[in-house]
Structure formats: C-alpha cells, structure tokens
Amino acid sequence: MKDIKGMLPSIVIGAAIVILGFAIKGGIDNIAFRDREVTVKGLAEREVKADLVTWPISYSVAGDDLSVLYEKMNTNTDKIIKFLTSNGISRDEISVNPPDTYDAATNQYRSNTFNYNYSISSTVSVTTTKVDKVRELLNRQSELLKEGVAFSNSYINYQFTGLNKIKPEMIGEATKAARAAAAQFAADSESRVGKIKSANQGQFSIEDADSSTPYLKKVRVVSTIVYYLED
C-alpha cells in the first residue's frame, strides 16, 4: 500500500504528460487545419424590368415677339399635357420646368443663321411607375406633330427600385455558388469544405441589360468567401 502511495505522484505526473501531449498534438493539428483554406467567389445575376421612368419632352419656339412666344409656349405645354393625361398618365406624374429664354440681341456671339430675336425652350417631364405605358406613348409621339408641337426627347431614365426585395435571395444564390466552387476545389484536393472563415458580400450593381433595351436591367452581385478545408 505504501508502495502504491509512493508511486501515486509519478502516476499523476505521467498521466498529465500524456494528456498534455494529446493537447499539444491537437493544437498543432488545429493550427495545420487553420492554415488550409480556399477563397472562392460566387456570382448571382438577374434580369429585371425597370419600375420607374423619367421621360422629358422638350420643345422650343422662336420669334420676334415675346408675348406671342409666351402664348405659343403655353399652347404647346397644354397640348403635351393633354396628350399624356388622355393616354393614362396622371397629372400629378407630370411636371413643367421653368422656360429658358434666349435673347439674340444681347448675345455678342449670336449666329447669323438665327433669324429671330428670341427663342424659348421648355420641358414637360413625366415621372411614373407606368413603364409600359411610357414605352407605348413613345411610339405615339408623332401625334404631337399633328398638333403642331415640334418636340425632342432628352435622355429617358429607366430605373429599378426593387433591389431590397430581391437582395436576400440573390445573396443566397451567390453564397450557394461560392460553396459549390469551394466543394469542387476541395474534391480536387482530396479535402472537404469546412466552416466559413470570412465573407464579403460585395456590391450590387444595376446596369442596362442591353443598349437597345434600357428598360431591362441586369442586377449583379459577387460574394467572396473564405472556407476552411478539412481532411
């Protein structure tokens, strides 16, 4: 019994050394595991329709009598507004910009090809969610010519404002694509995908799907994810 009691400290020390050895080995294995990782990118893309459009309709009138031009300007504006409101655009979706007047007599750089004293330009703008209706009316603008309105279209701005609604799903798609890429790399290296070490969602971009169809948008996001690799 005394011999066993005398050996007890040695047994405890020996067991502690064994446990410490396993702990050190586990730590070394863990460090080695942590050093094995793969960085992959996951892409998610969607084509969506614009849900907001701004359509400026501009015109100019020229002459020598400002009062006459003023009346003509008001007439043109009224004709444009009537064309829009009679075809499905609400009055509160229409705005009229202040007129811009050009006085040739006060312009020392006036062109000899300009035969009038004044010109007035104005823009009637439509801002609406009725994108399809605007596209329809763009094809019918020639009706304004019959009314004597010589118009021009400035840049028509189509926008997609529903990004927050599709963000979660697209992030999920990008993450899934990234994990698939990591799984393929792991299979090629005879490993398996572990936990995520770090992730960068990336920035969403919204661009025209095609120059000829600006009302169609391409939404795109690229996520960058770092995975641990396990044996």
**CATH code for position 119:** 3.30.70.2970
Q: Rounded to whole angstroms, what are the CA distances from 188 to 181, 192, 226?
A: 11, 10, 17
Domain match, 73 and 168 both: no
Domain match, 145 and 181 both: no
Which is nearest to 122 in space by CA: 96, 91, 148, 146? 96
pLDDT the model gives residue 12: 46
CB count, 10 Å around CB of 36? Answer: 15
pLDDT the model gives residue 184: 92
What is the total count of domains within the chain?
3
Q: Are 39 and 224 in contact (CB under 8 A)?
A: yes
The residue from 125, 159, 193 where one domain ends is 159
pLDDT the model gives residue 11: 52
pLDDT the model gives residue 7: 54
Domain match, 4 and 21 both: yes
Domain match, 67 and 148 both: yes
In which domain, by residue range, is 227 found? 37-50+160-231
User: Could you read off the pLDDT tens digit of each residue along the chain, which spans 231 residues?
Assistant: 545 555 555 554 544 454 544 444 444 444 444 568 999 999 999 999 999 999 999 999 988 888 999 999 999 999 999 999 999 999 999 999 999 888 776 665 556 666 778 889 999 999 999 999 999 999 999 999 999 999 988 789 999 999 999 999 999 999 999 999 999 988 988 889 999 999 998 899 999 999 899 999 999 999 999 999 997
Domain match, 104 and 201 both: no
pLDDT the model gives residue 116: 78
Domain match, 121 and 108 both: yes
Domain match, 139 and 74 both: yes
pLDDT the model gives residue 156: 94
pLDDT the model gives residue 16: 44
pLDDT the model gives residue 15: 47
Token pair listed for 197? 């070490």
Domain match, 108 and 90 both: yes
CA separation for the pair 222, 203 (Å, rounded): 7
For 61, the enclosing helix (H) or strand (E) is strand 52-63
Domain match, 137 and 172 both: no
CB count, 10 Å around CB of 83? Answer: 20
pLDDT the model gives residue 223: 94
The residue from 159, 185, 210 where one domain ends is 159
Domain match, 133 and 99 both: yes
